[in-house]
Structure 1
Amino acid sequence: MSGFPVALTKCDGYSLLNQAFEELKEKAQLKEFEKKVSGKKVLVKPNFLGPFRPELAVTTYPELVRIVVRWLKSANAEVLVGDNAGIGGYGYNERSAKKTGILEASEGAFQNIAKEVVEKQVDSRFFKKLIVSKAVLSADYIVNLPKLKTHSLAFFTLGIKNMFGILAGASKSQVHNSAQRIEEFGEALVDIYQIRPPDLTILDGIIGMDGNGPSFGRVRPIGYLVASENALAVDLLVAKMAGAEPKLIPHLKFAMERGLGPKKSEEIEVIGEFKPIPGFRFPTTLARNRFASFFINRFIYKPIINSKLVLNPNKCNSCKNCYNACPSGAMNWKNDYPEIDYKICIRCMCCFELCEQGAWEIAGFLKRMVSRGGLRREEK
């Protein structure tokens, strides 16, 4: 085969997943991968950002995890399933795995990879060392299972962004603090991806999320499973399907420039048929211009990022997730509710992303600009 092969198959619902996965294996020639993993240690890396129910489309659907685990075990691989949730701490990891259904779907293969970590040297202009789960570095192979969804800071959470979850402890906070601008964060994501690129990426794009992801966007059917041994190739194809210009998505631009996969969409060999995703909504950090002008993105984003998040006390249950996760220490606790100190807030959106209740809402320029009302859960 020439170029970077990416296989995809249509799947209109999780009840059809078994059949779709068999078709995907054939198209992606995964029998060759089965031979490689026989007798080897394989880490299955889903996305379980936090304790969100599967139907919210925030996390990798558990049935896909189950099918992949069974497939790898049938190939005589030693399988473990793990991720680092959005907040540091192994207790939150286990709670997230249980609520998302991934713990049960792992069928005994789940491992809390936050418990054993190592300090790893990183080639980056933002940081020199990060804390990485030991299981990531000790695995012979990594199977990456991202969810197709948008992200208010990275624009997309696909194959490359999903590898942000190899970081444990306070390292995610360190990254947000060190790479605060959207272009910097995109570059940092590629630095992290290069610590240990996955060997196979299988994207859960059956039910996905657009709009203001990654936690409170619009849940919508998309209807595809996508697979490739190159995560960048998967991301570029999905960006094309969504109508996005990859060079305007910082982490995809940096990955292409570094030669981590295709340098342009034309280098992808698509195996299977696909159609553009109709009516795909980008995050309101870029919505309306549809990636048409980098100039507009750059100069609109500044007032957006300077808008303020405000707490809806009627939704807040005082769980302290946002307080514990804040990378800059800008979150204070006052009268049983969180309060942001905007003098040191870096607008990383972690509080918005990790709130299970959707209690943080946007105010300021973005609320005035976007008629939908800013960064909040959209109706299905």
Structure 2
Amino acid sequence: MRERVWLGRCPDYDGEALFEKISGAFEALGVYDSIKPGMTVVLKPNLIQSSKPQAAICTHPAFTQAVGKCVQRAGGKVLIAESPGGPYSPAVMKAFFRNCGYTDMAESCGFSLYTDCKSREVSLPEGERCRRVSIVEPFLERDFLIDLPKLKTHCMVGYSGAVKNMFGAVPGLQKPELHCRFPEKEDFSKALVDICAFLRPDFSLMDGVWAMEGDGPTGGLRRDIGFIGASRSPYALDVCMAGLLGFPEGSLPMLAESARRGLGPKSFTETELLGESPEGLQVADFKRARASSTDFIDRLPGFLRPAAKKLSTPYPRVQKKGCVGCGKCAESCPQKAISMEGGRAVISYKACIRCFCCHEMCPRHVVGVKRLGLFQW
């Protein structure tokens, strides 16, 4: 049986129109029938960095609000939970929710925000790379889990969507630890699939009204695409949304891995599409992140591949003039490859594993992504 994916146009975050559009996705995919009165429904937005909605870094609060209202219509209780990439504490989470526009929104709607910041270590019996990991408690105790990713590029894995968003269930600075355990893009992608397969979100809705292209997930450019997608399968949703942005089939390791395991389709042609026709939603000129493209490396003699891979892999570089010495990059670095010297961040490239955590977590966006001139394409 083909997984169903719903697609719809939504040009802005106008409250009533957005609610009606998302409610249509709930109807089409049978979600209203699945949420029973009194259920605790956990909403997992992407709040990777404390930022205003206009930056298109985080799931827009109006989008999360509309989803929460649909949950309330079905009789469910809304709990919004997230863990950003830095320190994870009640004070930090309260500030994140406030700065991202969630505190006032939740209060006005009667939603709860999770700020207890408790987690526990669990085993992933079906994990192929990641067998044990800590998970924030609401994701383990929920009655129903709704995954609310932001449509963005990603400098390490190429694309940030529904599968990648489940990585946010890992508490705070334990995320860089996983980067350290799985420094290669392919292994890290497999670990992402392990975590998503364990958490099994019941429903996924992607905020693509304002997306991010270029060097996402935090340093790219806002692109007003004006569409949203939804599915009971995070893998099918990602395959369809990535396809609309022009990513070739099999080019994203985490989606290739999910297809290999039989968790999701290889192509959006293997899904049942509901809602609007995909032809009018395709974005052929969507700018990719400057991530490593190693197709040519596989055609080189074996003895040349390690050097070619090292030369072709992009690397983070600090723009000294813009750095204010806040230390967020050093705090998030899994390899402790960043030190603060003279009030500025300095990267040790011998220790750097090119995970781009520093790029993601820099609040001033002065950690850029660079590639040797020979490999600029």
Calculate the TM-score normalised by the size of structure 1: 0.88
Whether 1:202 aligns to 2:209 is no
Match of 1:33 in 2: 31
Q: Distance in 2 between matches of 1:281 and 1:33?
A: 33
Cα offset, 1:142, TM superposition? 0.5
Letter in 2 for 1:93: M
Match of 1:239 in 2: 242
Cα offset, 1:125, TM superposition? 4.8
Q: Distance in 2 between matches of 1:140 and 1:155?
A: 32
Residues 204-213 or 292-301, more deviating: 292-301
Question: Counterparts of 1:59-70 in structure 2 under 5 Å?
Answer: 59-70=58-69
Q: Do 2:203 and 2:231's aligned partners in 1 also have CA atoms closer than 8 Å? A: yes
Letter in 2 for 1:174: E
Given candidates 299, 305, 316, the residue that maps to 1:309 is: 316
Alignment gaps of 5+ in structure 1: 372-380
Q: Distance in 1 between matches of 2:115 and 2:160?
A: 21
Report Cα offsets for 1:257-302 as digits up to 9, x if no partner. Answer: 1111324422211112223113111112257xxx987948998754
Q: Do 2:236 and 2:271's aligned partners in 1 also have CA atoms closer than 8 Å? A: yes
Match of 1:55 in 2: 54
Letter in 1 for 2:232: E
Match of 1:82 in 2: 81
Match of 1:99 in 2: 99
Distance 1:192 1:337, change over 3 A: same
Q: Distance in 1 between matches of 2:218 and 2:63?
A: 19
Letter in 1 for 2:10: C
Question: Counterparts of 1:7-46 in structure 2 under 5 Å?
Answer: 7-15=6-14, 18-29=16-27, 32-38=30-36, 39-46=38-45
Question: Secondary structure of 2:191's match?
Answer: helix
Q: Do 1:208 and 1:222's aligned partners in 2 also have CA atoms closer than 8 Å? A: yes
Cα offset, 1:10, TM superposition? 0.7
Question: Secondary structure of 2:159's match?
Answer: strand
Identity value in percent: 26
Cα offset, 1:189, TM superposition? 0.7
Match of 1:273 in 2: 277
Question: Secondary structure of 2:325's match?
Answer: coil
Distance 1:222 1:302, change over 3 A: farther
Question: Counterparts of 1:109-258 in structure 2 under 5 Å?
Answer: 109-112=111-114, 115-123=117-125, 124-258=127-261
Match of 2:366 in 1: 359
Aligned length: 364
Q: Distance in 1 between matches of 2:238 and 2:299?
A: 23
Cα offset, 1:30, TM superposition? 5.3
Letter in 2 for 1:185: F
Q: Distance in 1 between matches of 2:236 and 2:291?
A: 24
Report Cα offsets for 1:186-208 as digits up to 9, x if no partner. Answer: 11110111121211111101110
Letter in 1 for 2:66: I
Q: Distance in 2 between matches of 1:242 and 1:255?
A: 19
Question: Counterparts of 1:337-356 in structure 2 under 5 Å?
Answer: 337-356=344-363
Match of 1:376 in 2: none
Alignment gaps of 5+ in structure 2: none
Q: Do 1:113 and 1:135's aligned partners in 2 also have CA atoms closer than 8 Å? A: no
Give the CA RMSD over aligned residues.
2.5
Residues 94-103 or 37-46, more deviating: 94-103
Q: Do 1:248 and 1:294's aligned partners in 2 also have CA atoms closer than 8 Å? A: no
Distance 1:173 1:140, change over 3 A: same
Question: Secondary structure of 1:247's match?
Answer: coil
Calculate the TM-score normalised by the size of structure 2: 0.89
Residues 234-243 or 327-336, more deviating: 327-336
Residues 104-113 or 6-15, more deviating: 104-113
Question: Secondary structure of 2:30's match?
Answer: helix
Distance 1:293 1:106, change over 3 A: farther
Distance 1:170 1:292, change over 3 A: closer
Cα offset, 1:45, TM superposition? 0.3
Letter in 1 for 2:264: G
Letter in 2 for 1:32: G
Cα offset, 1:243, TM superposition? 1.2
